[in-house]
């Protein structure tokens, strides 16, 4: 009943791609810190367009990782937070991202060492 990502027809592939998508990772990492509004997310995640942010939030919401809350007001406010399962995936993502940030120097050093190509 569990998935197998090595099987090209397994639906876990899709989920994995949503989570590890270019902006998906960063959205999960950002929401892993705290609940954020659309505009806050937009500012927090450098370089993301409104279009891609909205699209990414939608697929993550569809998979049940993110919850969207509309606060009726003028101007309107929409807030995003992780669901319970969202917290769990985000935990793994945050761990991965944190590791990369920490070890960036040695990775860049390895790249320098790469001979001509």
Q: Which residues of this protein are in contact with DNA, per CB under 7 A?
A: 21-23, 37-40, 42, 47-52, 54-55, 57-58, 68, 75-79
Q: Which listed option, its own copies, DNA, none, makes contact with residue 64 (CB within 5 to 8 Å by class)?
A: its own copies
First to last CA, the chain: 45
The binding track of 76-115 with respect to its own copies, each residue x by CB under 8 A or -, is ---------x--xx--xx-xxx-xxxxxxxxxxxxx-xx-
With b for 16 or more beta-carbon neighbours within 10 A and e for fewer, the 55-84 pattern comes to: ebbebbeebebbbeeeeeeeeeeeebebbe
Q: In this structure, how many other beta carbons lie within 10 angstroms of the beta carbon of residue 89?
A: 21
The secondary structure of residue 63, as a DSSP letter, is T
Contacting residues toward its own copies, per CB under 8 A: 1-9, 11-12, 15-17, 19-22, 25-26, 29-30, 44-47, 62-64, 85, 88-89, 92-93, 95-97, 99-111, 113-114
């Amino acid at each position: 009943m569990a998935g197998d990502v090595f099987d090209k027809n397994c639906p876990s592939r899709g989920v994995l791609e949503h989570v590890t998508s270019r902006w998906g990772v960063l959205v999960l990492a950002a929401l892993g810190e705290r609940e954020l509004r659309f505009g806050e997310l937009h500012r927090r995640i450098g370089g993301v367009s409104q279009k891609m942010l909205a699209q990414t939030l939608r697929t993550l919401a569809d998979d049940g990782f993110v919850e969207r809350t509309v606060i009726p007001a003028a101007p309107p406010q929409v807030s995003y937070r992780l669901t319970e399962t969202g917290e769990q995936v985000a935990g793994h993502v945050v761990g991965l991202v944190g590791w990369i940030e920490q070890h960036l120097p040695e990775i860049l050093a390895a790249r320098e060492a790469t001979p001509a190509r």
